[in-house]
Amino acid sequence: MLAYVFGISVLAILFAAYLAWYVLKQDQGTPKMQEISNAIKEGANAFLKRQYKTIGVLAIVVALIIFGIYGFLGKWEYAAKTSIGFVIGALCSALAGLIGMYISVRANIRTASAARKSTAEALKIAMRGGAVSGVMVVALSLIGVAGLFYLFGADPKTTPFMLVGFGFGASFVALFAQLGGGIYTKAADVGADLVGKVEAGIPEDDPRNPAVIADLVGDNVGDCAGRGADLFESTAAENIGAMILGVGLFPVFGINGVLFPLVARAFGLLASMIGIMCVKAREDEDPMKALNRGYYITALLAAVGFYIATMVMLKNAWFFYAGLIGIVTSIAFVYITQYYTEYKYRPVKEIAEASRTGPATNIISGLAVGLECTGLPVIVISLALFFSYVMGVWSGVAHGGLYGTAIATMGMLATAAYILAMDTFGPITDNAGGIVEMSKAPEAIRKKTDRLDAVGNTTKALTKGYAIGSAALAAFLLFSAYMDEVANLTGKAFSVVDLSKIEVFIGGMLGAMLVFVFSAFAIRAVGKTASYVIEEVRRQFKNKGIMAGKVKPDYAKCVDITTKGALKNMILPGVLAVGFPVVVGLLLRAEAVAAMLMVGTIAGVILATVLNNAGGAWDNAKKYIETGAYGGKGSEAHKAAVVGDTVGDPAKDTAGPSIHVLIKLLATVTLVLAPLFI
């Protein structure tokens, strides 16, 4: 089975290489376009280099601490396996991010160039560029875990530690990648907009704006590298949870139970690859339709793959149904997110209408939508958990209920590579639009990239919904994994997280609070970094030549300032996220930590949904008005909607996505440090 997993992973990497080759061989457009694209590339490289240096140093420190803690407890084998797992997890996550970015900053110009000919061609290039990211993330998470198995073998006692280390490594990198990238992208965006659009009155992506390149760089480091690390972590976390459960079911399924998650994931990856190749649009078709078509093909094939894997490895159809529930859940999340963030539907229309009476009513109405939209996702997750658990119970396998939820999670994540490809499609088309605008290409081309860009906004919103849904499902597995681990360590059954105990209730309350305070820190970090950008842009605008279009603004300076600011300001929320669970664990011990995890996850899922969807809805309310509603561009309603859009930016691109990572990090950090809490 392991060989099969390796085989598919290697195939996937070859596939990604083919896609990369395909993208890179495309036309690179005019010299003017290349100039802009190169600036973006340089800025992104500079940021990533410094970011991963910072993360690297932090990761080495953490690896040593983990080694030290287990060593101090005299468990040298655990120490070695956990910290090696951590380093491999961190490396794989970083590698996936870097490769994705490498292609993404090269696909943008090729998409822009292709848009001169046809929308369909541009769509294909952008999707294939995004797919490099998507495929690599999933392939590397498979290879990483499979590699650990290959290196150390499957030992029911130490395997969990290895997996847990891997997961923590992935979370750790994801936290800082998402925080740093999220802060960068929104600080640059807010900074560019406030001084450029609002103060100076020049349009978006105007080449006279010194922060415009930083803004375009931000789309890549936030949406591509950040979300890639986020979903890498999701797949890793889900693997861990499911495999640890599989270890517990060793008497029933043997090694098949442990490896099933990897095999199921491999099938999902295969399905995604086929889905990606199927994305072709007719020239006059809504590009979103083409993407949706590919998605349904992927989901269908993933279901077939699931059926084969379940019947061969587990020989129990009930688990297939559980997997199907997961696949259906992912589709439901995609629909719900569309309902709340697309302007075809009531919520966004409501916000747009409220914009007529000014920014205050726009914001109030957006808040109401954000708060309301937590309802359906929570109900869907509840149903998915409940019924997949029931399937597991009906399977007749002892403790099968939890395994049922594990398999539902795998089902939800089966399409991860495809979803991530759609997500990275977002920054590529966004950048393509920017390049077209800045190179002063004709209006007709701009219209084409605008259409793709609008689709990219939708896919970015969908991915966030999907990421939070899968995080919620995976979290329940991680709780069980944590409880298993504590039971193993203490030799006592630990099967209860009793909220009616005072310290457990307090743990839960602190977990929920952490999510809110963390979000506050993340948002404030954007504000601080944006203020550096604002000052710099204002300083440059004092040179009248820039405004007149005679002097080229110093883009690099803005990129540099944003980079430094984002990296500096990601430290405080990052340290809070890692340090707080440790403190709670040391003070209140294992059971309270479990409650912190569970209630923190609930609060996180809900708050992230509020922030992501409110942000998306504000964004599209503005876009809706720009189509001409309520007076269109330049009207009072539009001005009000711009305010909402700006408010939504740090919510949906920094705080929300960082919470996804936070809740998984909470799980992995407590899993790794559990020996300290008992």
Count CB neighbours of 42 within 10 A.
16
Q: Is 650 in the site for a copy of itself (CB under 8 A)?
A: yes
Instruction: Find all residues with CB under 8 Å of 598, minimum gap 6, and list them.
Output: 475, 479, 497, 508, 511
Q: Is 480 in the site for a copy of itself (CB under 8 A)?
A: yes
Instruction: Please give the helix or strand (H or E) that residue 268 lies within, else none.
Output: helix 255-277
Q: How far is CA 659 from CA 472, 608, 669, in A?
A: 11, 6, 15
Structure tokens at 156: 């029911």
How far, in Å, CA of 465 to CA of 459, rounded? 10
**Smallest separation, CB 350 to a copy of itself (Å):** 9
Stretch that binds a copy of itself, among 149-157, 251-259, 360-368, 553-561 (CB under 8 A): 360-368
Stretch that binds a copy of itself, among 95-103, 316-324, 385-393, 462-470 (CB under 8 A): 385-393
Q: Is 398 in the site for a copy of itself (CB under 8 A)?
A: no
Residue reference for tokens 């998470």: 141
Choosing from 60, 151, 517, 551, the residue that interacts with a copy of itself (CB under 8 A) is 517
Count CB neighbours of 390 within 10 A.
17
Q: Which of residues 401-420 bind a copy of itself (CB under 8 A)?
A: 401, 405
C-beta of residue 421 within 8 angstroms of C-beta of residue 133: yes
Residue reference for tokens 């290895």: 162
CA 337-341-342 angle, to 5 degrees, is 110
Is 422 strand, coil or helix?
helix
Q: Which of residues 588-607 bind a copy of itself (CB under 8 A)?
A: 594-595, 598-599, 602-603, 605-606
Rank residues 43 and 210 by Cβ distance to a copy of itself and give the closer one.
210
**Smallest separation, CB 462 to a copy of itself (Å):** 21
Rank residues 334 and 369 by Cβ distance to a copy of itself and give the closer one.
369
Q: Is 379 in the site for a copy of itself (CB under 8 A)?
A: yes
Q: Which of residues 156-215 bind a copy of itself (CB under 8 A)?
A: 190, 194, 198
Rank residues 38 and 382 by Cβ distance to a copy of itself and give the closer one.
382
Choosing from 112, 610, 637, 667, the residue that interacts with a copy of itself (CB under 8 A) is 610
Stretch that binds a copy of itself, among 1-9, 14-22, 176-184, 638-646 (CB under 8 A): 638-646
**Smallest separation, CB 535 to a copy of itself (Å):** 11
Rank residues 125 and 662 by Cβ distance to a copy of itself and give the closer one.
662
Q: Which of residues 482-511 bind a copy of itself (CB under 8 A)?
A: 483, 495-500, 502-503, 505-506, 508-510
Amino acid at 156: P
C-beta of residue 418 within 8 angstroms of C-beta of residue 265: no
**Smallest separation, CB 598 to a copy of itself (Å):** 5
Q: Which of residues 44-103 bind a copy of itself (CB under 8 A)?
A: none
Q: Is 666 in the site for a copy of itself (CB under 8 A)?
A: no
Q: What letter would DSSP give residue 501?
A: S
**Smallest separation, CB 454 to a copy of itself (Å):** 22
Q: Is 516 in the site for a copy of itself (CB under 8 A)?
A: yes
Q: Which of residues 281-300 bind a copy of itself (CB under 8 A)?
A: none
Nearest to 336 by CA among 307, 379, 300: 379
Choosing from 40, 471, 643, 665, the residue that interacts with a copy of itself (CB under 8 A) is 643
Chain centroid, CA 500 distance in Å: 34
Choosing from 55, 138, 177, 354, the residue that interacts with a copy of itself (CB under 8 A) is 354
Q: Is 532 in the site for a copy of itself (CB under 8 A)?
A: no
Nearest to 425 by CA among 395, 449, 402, 455: 455
How far, in Å, CA of 435 to CA of 35, rounded? 9
Instruction: Please give the helix or strand (H or E) that residue 530 lies within, else none.
Output: helix 502-541
Q: Is 631 in the site for a copy of itself (CB under 8 A)?
A: no
What CA dihedral angle connects 405, 411, 414 and 418, to 10 degrees? -120
Choosing from 389, 418, 466, 532, the residue that interacts with a copy of itself (CB under 8 A) is 389
Count residues near a copy of itself (CB under 8 A). Answer: 73
Rank residues 173 and 642 by Cβ distance to a copy of itself and give the closer one.
642
Q: How far is CA 521 from CA 130, 246, 570, 571, in A?
A: 30, 38, 9, 10
Instruction: Find all residues with CB under 8 Å of 481, minimum gap 6, and list them.
Output: 160, 164, 240, 241, 244, 245, 667, 671
Amino acid at 677: F
Query: Site mask, a copy of itself, residues 550-589, x = CB under 8 A?
Result: ----------------------------------------
Nearest to 461 by CA among 273, 327, 657: 657
Choosing from 65, 378, 489, 556, the residue that interacts with a copy of itself (CB under 8 A) is 378
